[in-house]
Structure 1
């Protein structure tokens, strides 16, 4: 497996990452309806293009299996292909983010307890909760910071 940051983000890569995003969301965000997933999916390519640091994990050349987006010291996105869940890839990505970008913040959906538990396992703790997500939708967010 290979981890690397990409600055060049061609359409084909964005499409591959959007596919990983959708599969991951369908496996982990069970609180979202199909229509909600499809509506959010429309914004994913823009988010992937705009995030300052985009780190890709590949198993085969040109075949992404996970990605993480970082803005300053905040994890903006972390999605793993469902077949790769449970293999330590999320831990590897977060540790890479801590070591390389000094990440120390993340926001997770409250309805995704696995994500909250994962970040707690990685040393993060909740410091704030909101009733709405950053787009104003009724999905409570938990803001977490790394305990140092």
Structure 2
């Protein structure tokens, strides 16, 4: 896959509408375990996020946001792509950026999102803790993962 047409750019408020749209399409495509009522509650919560409180970067093709990553305190808090961009190696591009530029080395993943769990494991993350509920107290177990450092 050629990355030359994609640019990583820091989030600005002008990107807000696009990343909210990407988030929604991505969750609908990848989180089939979330019941519709919970999805609507989570969507309302996401719409209140001030993305300026995170290190958020968008992966853009021309001016279109294909996906985005958000990091806080070295933890990947969000990584979402429009469905048509999933599985094309672009998640790796954003995570590599987060590792090198933002020093990210932790992530929480919904245990039921098996593709995401496999993605992070392939990058070298290992589970160090499991929760029975997500951070909103819903019955969606989380895997807390940390990037394993390799010795040189």
TM-score (norm 2): 0.90
Q: Deviation per CA, 1:35-66, whole angstroms, max 9, x where unpaired?
A: 322221111133352542011011122x1110
**Equivalences, count:** 144
Cα RMSD (Å): 1.2
Structure 2 distance, partners of 1:48, 1:81, is 20
Structure 1 distance, partners of 2:142, 2:51, is 23
Structure 2 distance, partners of 1:48, 1:5, is 14
Structure 2 runs not aligned, ≥5 long:
1-5
Structure 1 runs not aligned, ≥5 long:
none
- Which of these residues, 4, 9, 12, is aligned with residue 13 of structure 2? 9
Structure 2 distance, partners of 1:23, 1:52, is 21
TM-score (norm 1): 0.92
User: After the TM superposition, which residues 1-148 of structure 1 pair with which residues of structure 2 at under 5 Å, given as runs?
Assistant: 1-6=6-11, 8-10=12-14, 13-61=15-63, 63-148=64-149
